[in-house]
A and B are shown apart, each in its own frame.
Chain A
């Protein structure tokens, strides 16, 4: 029962992170940086 609750909380935190713009902005910038690095190397 307790484990189920913990799983639900973990899932809800993950969902919150994946729907958070504060997560996607750095991810997009990181991907852009990696592409730029590939281009200039």
Chain B
């Protein structure tokens, strides 16, 4: 029996199947990112008041730094990172720049929450997804020739998610804000602009073929460097050291929060790689929904609150899910993907990156003849070193006396691990993490 596919159409059909698979992978990565980024808030809730927000942020970033080096070493090995950097060394600048943007945005959110409360601040900085759509369209040909249905799905979905986020934030704000200071509004909007712009380097790196696991290892230098500079300049070196020493009992929980956050961020990076920033950012912004699930069911945050609060939670959650669904069903078509490829070729030409390498990595493949990355003793040393640091701080950790429900915590953790396994396995089978 003769196949319906001629030799010419067979590769085209296989390309379409591959690209559809990668789109689904990107969407799954976005969902998983939302779940893990939301769960990262849980360990930080164990930290009682008494430590300055900048010190809390700095300790989390130290945990993030350790995770950003040990996870890539464990998954692919540092040899693979070195090979990536040799092919596109210019991307180091963008990785460090993105890290600096993240650190400043994160610090701004601390001031925004202080001045206007979480309920107003969160939806304001969540507007980063709209800016991400704009940059994706302007610089990287995203949503070009996508058709009105996909435009409506992505833009409408992002807007619906913003409304849902506003409702959830209003419901989850446990204390009255300190007044609607314009300063806080500026801080929250500023954080949104910085985070929305941070995705320019992300997309640039992935269009040129860099592996997300390589990108994050250099991103973290910008992140830790900028955060340390901000902490020293705002707190002073000696007071900062004293605060760090007095926070010994909670350092583990904050570093654990940072570690969980990195797992979410790695999936966010894969989402940005395979579905672009216009779809990847809104999908991973569903973290707010997961954060609220932890808050309500594990920490009993809304216990005893009125019916209207619960209605806000249900309404906001439904809106968030509706928005996520709209974006998930608006994946890029063949025409739009051709425009993505044009943007990738433009980047490759500009920076002298081999076209076959760019194309292979866009399709989540290794280059023909490329040696398989392996792990060396140095990688195991990195993983062992990071684990030891976590163990040392775990032995110093204090478990605070607070309401904690084990049942929902176990269920949510199981859901997280399940998503990690499904998405990790799908990434491994389809791309071998390339």
Question: Which residues of A come within 8 Å of B, CB atoms?
Answer: 9-10, 12-14, 16-17, 20-23, 25-27, 29-30, 32-34, 36-37, 39-41
Question: What is the CB-to-nearest-CB distance from B107 to chain A, in angstroms, rounded to a whole number?
Answer: 6
Given contacts A25-B197, A36-B186, 11 further A-B pairs with CB under 8 A are A16-B90, A16-B350, A17-B351, A22-B200, A29-B193, A30-B97, A33-B108, A33-B193, A37-B230, A40-B108, A40-B111
The residues of A that contact B282 with a CB separation of less than 8 Å are none
The residues of A that contact B115 with a CB separation of less than 8 Å are 40
A9 vs B394: C-alpha distance when bound (angstroms): 47
Question: What is the CB-to-nearest-CB distance from A21 to chain B, in angstroms, rounded to a whole number?
Answer: 8
Task: Choose from B139, B186, B234 the contact partner of A22 (Cβ within 8 Å).
Answer: B139
Residue of B nearest to A18 (CB): B93
Asked whether B352 lies within 8 Å of A13 as measured between CB atoms, the reply is yes
Please, could you name 19 A-B residue pairs with CB atoms under 8 Å apart, sorted by A? A9-B352, A16-B350, A17-B93, A17-B351, A20-B350, A22-B94, A23-B93, A23-B94, A25-B135, A25-B200, A30-B100, A30-B101, A30-B104, A32-B190, A33-B101, A36-B186, A36-B187, A37-B107, A40-B115
Interface string of B343-369 (1 = CB under 8 A from A): 000000011100000000000000000
Question: What is the CB-to-nearest-CB distance from A13 to chain B, in angstroms, rounded to a whole number?
Answer: 5
Question: What is the CB-to-nearest-CB distance from B98 to chain A, in angstroms, rounded to a whole number?
Answer: 7
The residues of B that contact A10 with a CB separation of less than 8 Å are 89
B180 at the interface (CB under 8 A from A): no
The residues of B that contact A23 with a CB separation of less than 8 Å are 93-94, 97
Interface residues of B in 96-144 (CB under 8 A from A): 97-98, 100-101, 104-105, 107-108, 111, 115, 135, 139
B198 at the interface (CB under 8 A from A): yes
Asked whether A13 lies within 8 Å of B89 as measured between CB atoms, the reply is yes
Question: What is the CB-to-nearest-CB distance from A29 to chain B, in angstroms, rounded to a whole number?
Answer: 4
A29-B194 in contact given A9-B352, A17-B90, A37-B107 (Cβ < 8 Å): yes
The residues of B that contact A34 with a CB separation of less than 8 Å are 104
Asked whether B108 lies within 8 Å of A37 as measured between CB atoms, the reply is yes
Q: How many residues of B contact A (CB 8 A)?
A: 32
Residue of A nearest to B114 (CB): A40
B204 at the interface (CB under 8 A from A): yes
Question: What is the CB-to-nearest-CB distance from B276 to chain A, in angstroms, rounded to a whole number?
Answer: 15
A11 vs B197: C-alpha distance when bound (angstroms): 26
Asked whether A16 lies within 8 Å of B94 as measured between CB atoms, the reply is no
A24 vs B352: C-alpha distance when bound (angstroms): 20
Interface string of B292-333 (1 = CB under 8 A from A): 000000000000000000000000000000000000000000
The residues of A that contact B230 with a CB separation of less than 8 Å are 37
Interface string of B191-214 (1 = CB under 8 A from A): 001100110110010000000000
The residues of A that contact B105 with a CB separation of less than 8 Å are 33
A9 vs B201: C-alpha distance when bound (angstroms): 21
A13-B97 in contact given A30-B194, A36-B187 (Cβ < 8 Å): no
Residue of B nearest to A40 (CB): B183
The residues of B that contact A27 with a CB separation of less than 8 Å are 97
A32 vs B105: C-alpha distance when bound (angstroms): 11
Task: Choose from B90, B186, B193, B200 the contact partner of A40 (Cβ within 8 Å).
Answer: B186
Question: What is the CB-to-nearest-CB distance from A25 to chain B, in angstroms, rounded to a whole number?
Answer: 6
